[in-house]
Amino acid sequence: MTNPVFLADQVPATAGTFTLSGAEGHHAHVMRLAPGDPIDVVDGRGTRLRGRVAEVTADGVRIDVESVTREEDAAELILAQALAKGGRDEEAIAMATEVGVDVVVPWQAERSIAQWPAAKAGRAAAKWESVLRAAAKQARRSRVPRLLPLHDSTELAALAAEVVAGGGTVLVLHADARLSLADAVPAAGRVLVVVGPEGGLTARELARLTAAGGMAVLAGPHVMRSGTAGPVALSHVARGVGRWSPTGAGERA
């Protein structure tokens, strides 16, 4: 059974003692952790503290630290998720976090029914941040996916070009693609997976992304919802780059 995971802005660099306080410390108190129970604390940026509870108070938890490790991975998985109605976009990024996504890009696609108007964009982004944090904790990850600002289609094409220029791969999920996703997954490197809205990508968006070096790929034989396609595609990518291999670097499933 895996240890419960809590988030802290900073964790110590070496073994010793550490006090988890604030909201996360209160959460540990509510969970009724007891002295001797194993516990992990992560900073959300790849550092993991493992230890055992020494004392629990109403203000927090004092931990006897057994080890502090840094979890890295050579591959970087990026999901550009089009805004979708009914909270499906939030479901998608939560599942993608469980799969192992490192960076999430909210995308205002031309056919997105859901919108982030300027007056509400900050609140919407904060909600996505909260979803990512909760999913990372649930998945026992040491790293919370980084959320980029809202991108329009022009900005997303520019990001795709940047990824390709740096030697990475851009996979654009499209129902009419002839290339199978399984045949396009690289063995390593930076990978951007682009998922369109319920109505699909427009011809102009597809042209921009492929002109930037992206490859249109078919995720599978069945049509998937916008909230499902990204996590399914990322699972193929994660396996392809060795993220799920027993000897792979960084975090493991």
Q: Report how far apart, in Å, the C-alpha atoms of 41 and of each of 19, 135, 189, 201, 212 are.
A: 10, 15, 28, 40, 40
| Residues in a beta bridge with 82 | 107
Q: Which class would CATH give 76-240?
A: alpha beta
Secondary element (H or E) of residue 23: helix 22-30
pLDDT band at 246 (very low <50, low <70, confident <90, very high): low
Tokens for 144, please give them.
């919370």
pTM, entire model: 0.88
Please say if the pLDDT value at position 249 is more than 60: no
**What does the radius of gyration of the chain's CA atoms come to, in whole angstroms?**
20
Please say if the pLDDT value at position 30 is more than 90: no
Give the mean model confidence (pLDDT) for residues 91-120.
95
Instruction: Yes or no: say if 79 and 99 are a contact pair by the CB < 8 Å rule.
Output: no
What residue type is 226 in one-letter code?
A: S
pLDDT band at 13 (very low <50, low <70, confident <90, very high): confident
Q: What is the pLDDT of residues 175-225, one digit of tens each?
A: 999 999 999 999 889 999 999 998 899 999 999 999 999 999 998 887 788
Q: Which CATH architecture has domain 5-70?
A: Beta Barrel (2.40)
Q: What is residue 224's predicted lDDT score, i.e. its pLDDT?
A: 83
Please, which residues have CB within 8 angstroms of residue 210's CB and are 6 or more apart in sequence? 172, 216
Q: Determine the Cα–Cα distance for residues 22 and 232; give it in Å rounded to an integer.
A: 36
Residue 77: name the closest of 124, 143, 135, 125 by CA. Answer: 143
Residue 134: CB atoms within 10 Å: 14
Domain boundaries, the chain: 5-70, 76-240
pLDDT band at 34 (very low <50, low <70, confident <90, very high): confident
Half-sphere exposure at residue 85, Cβ-oriented, CA atoms within 13 angstroms: 6
